[in-house]
Structure formats: structure tokens, C-alpha cells
């Protein structure tokens, strides 16, 4: 199959440019940008006039809920949501049920994706410890050979700093990327809101910044000690951004991300006990939000992710402290990213880079770059589509969104994964 | 914020009573004045008025309570309502029923008013969002958020003994961090125009950012009590020692226990209050609790009239 995308405005996150150009696809590869290869004959032509063409998005933290919690989401339901929103590669953390701590579970997930039609690329993140118990190391080499691109203990603690050190050391020996969500579980306690005037006023059990920063300080020291290439996920605090900036300046092999929603919401948004805004890490202060934005702009924070956590309705239909944390965010990742450019925080190619080439590079996956010979993962956006964000319209099974009623500009019209059109919006 | 609109109808009258925050002086004054009119009822031989005759009140207590629960029951009975009291600590929820299903099931028994105490902050608000139109929700304590009827009976007590709020310095002493009563009191005192509200506690019992609610912080009891007209002591739960919030009851009493000697730092006619249940010898000395400045038992008596007032203002309209 060959595809000719014509007249689109190509937003190039690699060269940070925008040019009106044509793109040519043969099989699963890009075979021409600007001009077709010799003897190219398109089976299909997509007219992208007045539309934007970008590499498919790479989302480094997505919970599909399968295996284990199919009532919240399945590989089938959530990959549909992914591609309908321009996400063509996604990484799933190891806290599935069962945990991704052996090759059989990795295969189970890839089998599930294949049954769902291989709509998008799924990359598994293996567990650092068996059943995430924080005590016994997994067969990391085996996980690597079965396709895991990184290792993590998700949000589960290690039983001791010694075990964490060994896990990172062993992973470094296997040349595996380690992913850490810095978290001190004791300081987290049973908290559900950022510790500050808002949590005090609402009487909500609170989570101090030190619950993240104290852990991050220790984690960074263990990177120094072990040399493990480490990615820090879902940072939420201003102090964390400072620490990462300093650690990078010191030449440590680290990268970082934060969630898209942390760039828009703060603890002030909890004002009415809205359970859709219960997240872990919690929505922080306006000061933290600004520091995260600054970190994204100056590159301290390398990439943005959705941290997609779809829930059934009942999970949020209860008082705030009893609700399950997390938001359904595949459907809002791209429109919020476009809003960052609209607000003038960064140029459009710079924003797109943080959702494509940057995560692809740090994860070591072939994506995010539309040049000759690369995999044809492409997203086409109608920038003039205006719509109201409504959870009920989400493709994801999870309708739990804190962005209900927001005005969005820009919508995916076509998504191509490995040269196949996997989504086409019928307007 | 929708939370506060939620408790008022389109005419600004109380529909639910979920928290003090967001209410205005007129509503609080109306509660106090209405309660005043009910004090005569509670002093009569026949302590009943027919305001809620034919109405049914469901008391749902997901946490243990003695005085709040019984004064709500008495208040409902004195207004001639039928009352259903459920101790849900050990019932439906322990069988796995969701809170929403519990609401729906009890509501199906044709209830006009819920009085709810629940361990989750925001639970009364959650109830109010999900009951049918025309059904009222009274918050009898939600997590560490608010306990508005307790705060109003405290305000009633203060007004009874001190008249003008504008002249008053009020100190709240003790475990502010875990106290829904303190939060409601702080809001109420500020709305009623108290000259100064102080909170006095060790740092581990002072929640971050509490000064944003309009209070001055003190970590020394003697200094904090200077020139104060009203001293409100809070209960110190013994479990707090386990969370490493405090070293010992003894040290707490030595630093923050209210003795007569310390009380003498306050104005000579200062009154001493406590929402109960009190720990004698932990936060307050027995001689102060039973002494001439203590109005702790009057608080309980006034509690019935205040709860009658709130019930009649929401359902009895």
C-alpha cells in the first residue's frame, strides 16, 4: 500500500520547522518528503490542505488496564482512543495484573494488541522486582529480550535502599533504562491532596512536596552510585525541576517527564471536592505549575505524557478521599499540547517535539521522526476544529476527565501507523 | 464555588447545612436568632413544637458519636419529626455497599433530611449532590473538613455570654490539624466579625497554610492567651502519640494543658469552652473544666436549640 499526503503543513519536531510539503509512504516506511521517489504511484491520496501533519505521538505512561482491570479499559478500547487522538506509540508500566515481571505477560500483552488489530505500537516496561514486591529482582535480561524497553517498579516502594541500589545496578549492567516515579510512601501516607492552604481548608489528608523531593534526592544519588540511565516520571514539584536541572548540569544520565494535566491544573481546582481532579502525584500549587512549565520550556523536563488512567464511573462516585486517583487523558493529550502553543509557551514544533522525538529518543524507540526510511507513524490534525471537551464523547472507556467543558482547538482527522490508516475521522 | 451555592436556594436561604465557609453574616445571625427562640421550648415542661411534624429525619453516623448524635435526635424529636438513627459503622458499608447505594436505599424510605457524619472530608457535600430535590443534608462532621452545627452552638454560647463579637479575641488551643470543629469555628468567628482569632498548638498539630483562613498562630500557650476573651480547648486524641506528632501526654499537658494559672493570662472574665469529649489532665485541668469560667455544659444544652434551628430552617420552611 502506498499513500501520498499532499499539501499539509508539516510540523517537524526534529528540525523545529513548519513547511508546506508532501509526504510519500510505501509499505510501512516513509519514502519521500517533499518529492516522491522514482516511479512512486499512490494507492491513496490524502488531501491535507489547511491541515497539520506531525509524527505520531509517543506517550511514555499509559495504563490500558488490561490485563487485570478490563472493567476500566481494554487493550482494544484504549488503543482505539490512542490512535483517534494521534498517539501511535505508547508505553505501559508494569503494574498490570498480573505484573509485567516475566516474558509470558509481555507476550500476553502483545497478543492482546495483535487481537485488537495492532492499531498502535505498544511498548512494555518490565518490573524491576518480582510482582513489584521491592524485594526480589526480576529476570531483567529475559524481560529485555522479550521486548521490554525499560524497567520500573511503578509506584511501589523498594523494601530498602539496598534493594533499590542493586536493582538499578543490575539494570545498568543489562543496559536497560530505569524509570522511577520518585515517591516516599511514608511521607505520602494516606494523602490525597497537595499539602497547603487548600488541603487545610478542605480538611483533606495532605501530601507534602517532600514526599516527592526527598525520594528524588535519594534516587539521584543512586544514579550517581550505580550509573543507571534513569528517567524520572510524572514530576510534580518545583523543587524536583530544580534538582533535575542541577543533576543534568552535573552530567548525570537522566531524563524526566511530567504529565500534561500538571501544566494546566493546580490544587485550587479541587475547591469543590471534584473527584475527577484526584491524581497521584496530586495537583500542586500555582508556583509548582509555573516551575514545571519553565522546566518543559528549557528542556529540563524532556517530554510530556498523559499518565492515562481510565476508570469506571463508580470509582469516582464517592467522597474525594475514597475515590480512585487518576484521569482518563488520552483524549485530551493533543488538544492540551496545542493549547500550550496557542498560549505562546513554545512554538508548535517545540511542543510537538516533547510528545514525539524527545520521548522516542530517551526510550530508544523508532518513532517521532518523519524522514526518509523512518516508520510511517503519522498524525494529521485539523487545526480549525473547535469543540467542547465532554467526557461522554471520549473514545476511551474512561470518561473521568477534569477538563469537562473546556474549549479545545484542533482535532485529529487521520492517524497512520506503520503505513496503515488506523483512524479516519468521519466529520 | 459550587460547594457553597449548593447549600443555599435561589433566595439565599439554607437548603443544606454543609459548612460554615461561604455562608454570610445574615445566615449565621438567622441561625443564632432562631436558636434563641428555641431555647424557651427546651426549658418548657412539654418540650415539643410541631414544626417538623410528619417529616422524617435519618441520622447516619459512619463514625462513633455520643453527644452530637443524641442532641440531633433530641432536636428532631422536639420539633416533632420522626427519626431513624443508623449506626453505619458496622452495617451496610462493611458489607461492601457503596455510599451512593446507601443514600439511595435510605432515601427510598421517604426521608426528608439526612444528618450525616462520615470520616471522609467532603462526604456531606457528596450527599447533598446526590439526594433528591427537596431532601436536606446536615453535616454532623465530615473528616477533617467541617462540623458546622458544633461551631454554631459554640457561637451561640459565645454570644450568650459575651454579646458583641467585634470586641472579642478568641483562642483555639490544641489539635487544629485534625479538627473539623476548629475549621468551622475559624470561619464562623471571622464571618461574625471577631476582633482576632488565634490558634495555639505545637507545629505538628498546626496544618500548613492555616493562617490563610484568617488566624494568628501561636506556639506558646501563655503568650497566645494574653488578652483573650474566649478560650476554646480541643480534644487531643491519644492516637496522636502513635503518629509521632507528639512525644507524650505529659509533655503536651506541660506545654499546652489549660491550668488555672495559665488561664489567668487571659482576660479575667474569659470563658472556657470545649466541644467534648474532653480528656481531663491532658488538654485541660479538672479544676478549670469544673471551674467558674467553664461554660462547657451550657454548650451541650445550647447544642439542642442550635440543631433545632438549623433543622427548622432547612426542612421546616
Contacts of A6 (CB under 8 A, 6+ apart): A22, A45, A46, A47, A48, A49
Fold of B149-295: Rossmann fold (3.40.50)
**A99 and A21 together in one domain:** no
A268 touches chain B (CB under 8 A): no
Phi, psi of B286 (to 5 degrees): -55, -40
| A142 pLDDT more than 50 | yes
Query: Is the pTM value of this prediction over 0.80?
Result: yes
Number of domains forming the structure of chain A: 2
Shortest Cα distance from A266 to chain B (angstroms)?
Answer: 15
In a domain, A401, yes or no: no
Q: What is the pLDDT of residues A41-92, one digit of tens each?
A: 999 999 999 999 999 999 999 999 999 999 999 999 999 999 999 999 999 9
> Does A274 fall in a domain?
yes
Looking at the structure, do residues A87 and A166 belong to the same domain, yes or no?
yes
Nearest CA in chain A to B3: A272
Return the CATH number of the domain spanning residue range B2-147+301-314: 3.40.50.1370
CA distance B8 to B119: 24
When pLDDT is cut at 50, 70 and 90, the band that residue B99 belongs to is: confident
Look-up of cell digits 467522597: A319
List the domain boundaries for chain B: 2-147+301-314, 149-295
> Could you say which of A195, A199, A317 has the minimum Cβ distance to residue B100?
A317
Do A23 and A109 belong to one domain?
A: no
- Assign residue A26 the CATH number of its domain: 2.30.40.10
Which residue on chain B is closest to A195 by alpha carbon?
B208
CA atoms within 13 A on the CB side of A357: 17
Residue A398 lies in a domain: no
Query: Per-residue pLDDT tens for B122-172?
Result: 999 999 999 999 999 999 999 999 999 999 999 999 999 998 999 999 999
Q: Which residue has the higher pLDDT, B139 or B103?
A: B139
Among A200, A208, A319, whose Cβ lies nearest the Cβ of B123? Answer: A319
Give the per-residue pLDDT at A415: 98
| % of residues, chain A, pLDDT over 90 | 99
Helix/strand/coil percent split, chain B, to 5 = 45, 15, 40
- pLDDT > 90? residue A405: yes
Chain A CB contacts of B100 under 8 Å are 314, 317-318
Any B CB within 8 A of A271 CB: yes
pLDDT at B91 over 70: no
pLDDT at B93: 58
| C-beta atoms of A273 and B21 within 8 A | no
Mean pLDDT, range B93-117, rounded to an integer:
86
Binary contact (B3, A318; C-beta < 8 A): no
Tell me whether residue A395 is in a domain. Answer: no
Task: Inspect the interface and report whether the beta carbons of A318 and B121 lie closer than 8 Å.
Answer: no
Strands across the sheet containing B216-218: B216-218, B196-200, B169-173, B230-233, B271-273
Establish whether A307 is a catalytic residue: yes
Cβ within 8 Å, pair A206-B207 = yes
Question: Measured between CA atoms, how close is B79 to chain A, in angstroms?
Answer: 30
- pLDDT tens-digit profile of B22-75? 999 999 999 999 999 999 887 788 788 999 999 999 999 998 888 889 999 999
Given A363, A393, A415, which residue is the final one in a domain?
A363
* Consecutive H or E run containing A425: none
The reply to whether A43 and A129 lie within a common domain is no
* Four-residue CA torsion sign, A72, B143, A194, A210: negative
Assigned C-alpha cell, A192 = 490525597
* Chain B residue numbers touching A202 (CB-CB < 8 A): 121-122, 145
Is the Cβ pair A319, B118 closer than 8 Å? yes
Interchain proximity B123–A200, CB inside 8 Å? no
Grid coordinates of B55:
417529616
Residues in A closer than 8 angstroms to B122, CB to CB, are 202, 204, 273, 319-321
- Tell whether A321 is covered by a domain: yes
> Best interface-test mutation with B: which of A203, A323, A404 has the largest number of B CBs within 10 A?
A203
Chain A residues lying within 8 Å of B208, measured CB to CB: 195-197, 199-200, 206, 208
Fold agreement between B2-147+301-314 and B149-295: yes
Residues of chain A positioned with their CB less than 8 A from the CB of B1: 271-272
Residues A136 and A7 in one domain: no
Contact at CB, A271 and B3, closer than 8 angstroms:
yes
Chain B interface includes A272 (CB < 8 A): yes
Across the A:B interface, residue pairs with CB atoms under 8 Å apart total 85
Whether residue B212 and residue A200 make contact (CB cut-off 8 A), yes or no, is yes
Look up the CATH number of the domain holding residue A134.
3.20.20.140
User: pLDDT for A110-129, tens place per residue?
Assistant: 999 999 999 999 999 999 99
Note the pLDDT tens digit of each residue in A161-197: 999 999 999 999 999 999 999 999 999 999 999 999 9
Question: Based on the domain organization, do A85 and A25 belong to the same domain?
Answer: no
Residues in B touching A197 (Cβ below 8 Å)? 208-210, 212-213
**CA–CA gap between residue A183 and residue A209 (Å, rounded):** 10
Average pLDDT value for residue range B287-314: 95
For residue A141, name the pLDDT band (cuts at 50, 70, 90): very high
Question: Position of cell 501507523?
Answer: A417
Contacting A residues, span 142-201, partner chain B, CB-CB under 8 Å: 195-201
Cα-to-chain-centroid distance, residue B155: 10
Residues in B closer than 8 angstroms to A319, CB to CB, are 99, 118, 120-123, 125-126, 142-143
How high is the pLDDT of residue B48? 87
Q: Are A258 and A328 members of one domain?
A: yes
The three state secondary structure string of A276-310 is HHCCCCCCCCHHHHHHHHHHHHHCCCCEEECCECC
The residue of chain A with its CA nearest to that of B144 is A203
Three cell numbers written together for B71: 442532641
Average pLDDT over residues B207-221: 96
What's residue A426's pLDDT? 79
Check if the beta carbon of residue B93 is closer than 8 Å to that of residue B99.
yes
pLDDT, chain A, mean: 97
Which residue blocks in A96-209 are alpha helix, DSSP H?
A: 103-115, 140-145, 161-173, 185-188, 197-202
Mean pLDDT of A201-226: 98
- Inter-residue contact B117 to B140 (CB < 8 Å): yes
User: Which of these is catalytic: A219, A302, A307, A382?
Assistant: A307
pLDDT in tens, A343-399: 999 999 999 999 999 999 999 999 999 999 999 999 999 999 999 999 999 999 999
Q: A138 and A202 in one domain? A: yes
Q: Do A200 and B213 touch (CB under 8 A)?
A: yes
What was the pLDDT predicted at B3? 43
Q: Is the pLDDT of residue B1 over 60?
A: no
Residues 298-327 of A with CB under 8 A from B: 314, 317-322
- Predicted local distance difference test score (pLDDT) of residue B242: 73
Measured in angstroms, the CA of A280 and the nearest CA of chain B are apart by: 18
Chain A touched by B117 (CB under 8 Å):
no
- Residue B299 Rama label (left phi>0; alpha psi -120 to 50; beta): alpha
Nearest to B32 by CA among B159, B140, B139: B159
Domain carrying residue A43: 2-53+374-385+406-424
* Tens-digit pLDDT profile for residues B257-300: 999 999 999 999 999 999 988 999 999 999 999 999 999 999 99
Whether B145 sits inside 8 A of A202 (CB atoms) is: yes
Task: Give a yes or no: residue A393 inside a domain.
Answer: no
Kindly provide the ipTM of the predicted complex, given to two decimals. 0.93
- Predicted confidence band of residue B2 (pLDDT cuts 50, 70, 90): very low
Helix (H) or strand (E) holding A11: strand A2-12
Query: How high is the pLDDT of residue B42?
Result: 75
The answer to whether residue A23 sits within a structural domain is yes
Does a structural domain hold residue A349? yes
Which residue in this structure is represented by grid cell 506503520?
A418
Amino acid at each position: 500500500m502506498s499513500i501520498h499526503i499532499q499539501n499539509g503543513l508539516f510540523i517537524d519536531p526534529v528540525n523545529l520547522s513548519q513547511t508546506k510539503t508532501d509526504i510519500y509512504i510505501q509499505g510501512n516506511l516513509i519514502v519521500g518528503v517533499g518529492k516522491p521517489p522514482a516511479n512512486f504511484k499512490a494507492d491513496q491520496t490524502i488531501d491535507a490542505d489547511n491541515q497539520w501533519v506531525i509524527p505520531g505521538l509517543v506517550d511514555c505512561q499509559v495504563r490500558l488496564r488490561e490485563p487485570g482491570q478490563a472493567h476500566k479499559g481494554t487493550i482494544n478500547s484504549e488503543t482505539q482512543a490512542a490512535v483517534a487522538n494521534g498517539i501511535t506509540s505508547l508505553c505501559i508500566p508494569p503494574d498490570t495484573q498480573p505484573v509485567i515481571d516475566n516474558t509470558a505477560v509481555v507476550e500476553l500483552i502483545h497478543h492482546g494488541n495483535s487481537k485488537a488489530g495492532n492499531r498502535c505500537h505498544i511498548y512494555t516496561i518490565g518490573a524491576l522486582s518480582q510482582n513489584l514486591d521491592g524485594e526480589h529482582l526480576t529476570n531483567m535480561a529475559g524481560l529485555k529480550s522479550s521486548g521490554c524497553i525499560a524497567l520500573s517498579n511503578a509506584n511501589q516502594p523498594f523494601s530498602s535502599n539496598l534493594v533499590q541500589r542493586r536493582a538499578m545496578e543490575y539494570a545498568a549492567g543489562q543496559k536497560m533504562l530505569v524509570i522511577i516515579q520518585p515517591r516516599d510512601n511514608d511521607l505520602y501516607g494516606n494523602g490525597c491532596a497537595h499539602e497547603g492552604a487548600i488541603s487545610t481548608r478542605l480538611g483533606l489528608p495532605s501530601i507534602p512536596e517532600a514526599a516527592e523531593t526527598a525520594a528524588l534526592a535519594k534516587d539521584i544519588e543512586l544514579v550517581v552510585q550505580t550509573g543507571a540511565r534513569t528517567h524520572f516520571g510524572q514530576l510534580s514539584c518545583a523543587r524536583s525541576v530544580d534538582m533535575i536541572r542541577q543533576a543534568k548540569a552535573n552530567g548525570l544520565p537522566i531524563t524526566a517527564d511530567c504529565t500534561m494535566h500538571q501544566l494546566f491544573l493546580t490544587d485550587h481546582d479541587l475547591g469543590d471536592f471534584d473527584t475527577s481532579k484526584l491524581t497521584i502525584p496530586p495537583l500542586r500549587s500555582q508556583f509548582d505549575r509555573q516551575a514545571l512549565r519553565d522546566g518543559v520550556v528549557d528542556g529540563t523536563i524532556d517530554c510530556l505524557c498523559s499518565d492515562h488512567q481510565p476508570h469506571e464511573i463508580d470509582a469516582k462516585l464517592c467522597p474525594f478521599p475514597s475515590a480512585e486517583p487518576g484521569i482518563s487523558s488520552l483524549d485530551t493529550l493533543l488538544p492540551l499540547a496545542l493549547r500550550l502553543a496557542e498560549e505562546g509557551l513554545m512554538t508548535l514544533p517545540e511542543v510537538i517535539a516533547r510528545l514525539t522525538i524527545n520521548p522516542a529518543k530517551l526510550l530508544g524507540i523508532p518513532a517521532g521522526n518523519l524522514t526518509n526510511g523512518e516508520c510511517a507513524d503519522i498524525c494529521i490534525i485539523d487545526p480549525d476544529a473547535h469543540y467542547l471537551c465532554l467526557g461522554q464523547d471520549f473514545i476511551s472507556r474512561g470518561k473521568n476527565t477534569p477538563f469537562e467543558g473546556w474549549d479545545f482547538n484542533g482535532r485529529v482527522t487521520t492517524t497512520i501507523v506503520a503505513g496503515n490508516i488506523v483512524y479516519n475521522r468521519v466529520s | 464555588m459550587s460547594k457553597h451555592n449548593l447549600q443555599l436556594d435561589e433566595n439565599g436561604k439554607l437548603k443544606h447545612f454543609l459548612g460554615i465557609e461561604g455562608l454570610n453574616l445574615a445566615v449565621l445571625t438567622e441561625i443564632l436568632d432562631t436558636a434563641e427562640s428555641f431555647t424557651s421550648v427546651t426549658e418548657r415542661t412539654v418540650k415539643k413544637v410541631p414544626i417538623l411534624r410528619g417529616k422524617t429525619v435519618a441520622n447516619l453516623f459512619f463514625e462513633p458519636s455520643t453527644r452530637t448524635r443524641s442532641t440531633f435526635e433530641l432536636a428532631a424529636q422536639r420539633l416533632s419529626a420522626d427519626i431513624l438513627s443508623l449506626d453505619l459503622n458496622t452495617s451496610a458499608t462493611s458489607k461492601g455497599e457503596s455510599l451512593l447505594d446507601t443514600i439511595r436505599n435510605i432515601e427510598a424510605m421517604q426521608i426528608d433530611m439526612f444528618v450525616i457524619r462520615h470520616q471522609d472530608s467532603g462526604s456531606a457535600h457528596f450527599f447533598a449532590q446526590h439526594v433528591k430535590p427537596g431532601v436536606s443534608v446536615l453535616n454532623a462532621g465530615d473528616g477533617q473538613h467541617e462540623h458546622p452545627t458544633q461551631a454554631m452552638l459554640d457561637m451561640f454560647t459565645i454570644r450568650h455570654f459575651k454579646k458583641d463579637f467585634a470586641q472579642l479575641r478568641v483562642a483555639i488551643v490544641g489539635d487544629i490539624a485534625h479538627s473539623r470543629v476548629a475549621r468551622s469555628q475559624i470561619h464562623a468567628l471571622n464571618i461574625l466579625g471577631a476582633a482576632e482569632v488565634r490558634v495555639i498548638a505545637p507545629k505538628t498539630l498546626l496544618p500548613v497554610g492555616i493562617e490563610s483562613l484568617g488566624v494568628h498562630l501561636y506556639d506558646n500557650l501563655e503568650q497566645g492567651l494574653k488578652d483573650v476573651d474566649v478560650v476554646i480547648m480541643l480534644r487531643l486524641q491519644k492516637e496522636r502519640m502513635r503518629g509521632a506528632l507528639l512525644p507524650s501526654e505529659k509533655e503536651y499537658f506541660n506545654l499546652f494543658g489549660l491550668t488555672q494559672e495559665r488561664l489567668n493570662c487571659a482576660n479575667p472574665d474569659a470563658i472556657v469552652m470545649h466541644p467534648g469529649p474532653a480528656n481531663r489532665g491532658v488538654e485541660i485541668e479538672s479544676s478549670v473544666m469544673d471551674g467558674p469560667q467553664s461554660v462547657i455544659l451550657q454548650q451541650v444544652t445550647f447544642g439542642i436549640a442550635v440543631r433545632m434551628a438549623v433543622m427548622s430552617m432547612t426542612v421546616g420552611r
